[in-house]
């Protein structure tokens, strides 16, 4: 049950944010200080902040709708959040950048990483998984 709630939250966050970044990548300039100075740069922002975010959200949705994909979605999120949290936290401290965007992102990513670590690596597996 807790897995489904977590995946549902990710669907509600990743898909709308990804669609917003896909449609209006220039908003990243104000939100995250990320700008494109060429068409190639704009495509990169749309692909990484738009397409990838939507794809992660769709994976979470599939994990929510199809029980056999739940573990795949959760494990994928574990690795994604590990990469994001470890690098973002390390670089924030290295560069002393604690903007609102950075603090929110690294906090969210770290909380998700710890939760997924507990969920997938520490929590006892039920004897009769349903």
* Euclidean distance between CA atoms 117 and 7, whole angstroms: 15
pLDDT of res. 125:
64
pLDDT digits (tens, 9 = 90+) for 75-104: 999 999 999 999 999 999 999 999 999 999
104 CB-contact burial (10 Å; exposed 0-12 / middle 13-18 / buried 19+): exposed
Question: How far apart, in whole angstroms, are the C-alpha atoms of residue 95 and residue 90?
Answer: 9
Mean pLDDT of the chain: 94
pLDDT tens for 99-114 read 999 999 999 999 999 9
For 40, the token pair is 């190639």
pTM, whole model, 2 decimals?
Answer: 0.89
């Amino acid at each position: 049950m807790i897995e489904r709630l977590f995946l549902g939250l990710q669907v509600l966050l990743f898909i709308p944010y990804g669609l917003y970044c896909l449609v209006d990548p220039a908003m990243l300039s104000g939100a995250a200080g990320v700008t494109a100075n060429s068409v190639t740069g704009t495509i990169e922002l749309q692909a990484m902040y738009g397409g990838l975010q939507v794809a992660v959200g769709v994976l979470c949705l599939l994990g929510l709708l199809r029980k056999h994909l739940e573990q795949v979605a959760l494990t994928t999120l574990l690795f994604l959040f590990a990469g994001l949290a470890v690098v973002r936290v390390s670089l924030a401290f290295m560069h002393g950048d604690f903007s609102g965007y950075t603090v929110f992102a690294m906090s969210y990513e770290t909380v998700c990483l710890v939760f997924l670590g507990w969920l997938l690596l520490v929590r006892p597996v039920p004897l009769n998984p349903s």
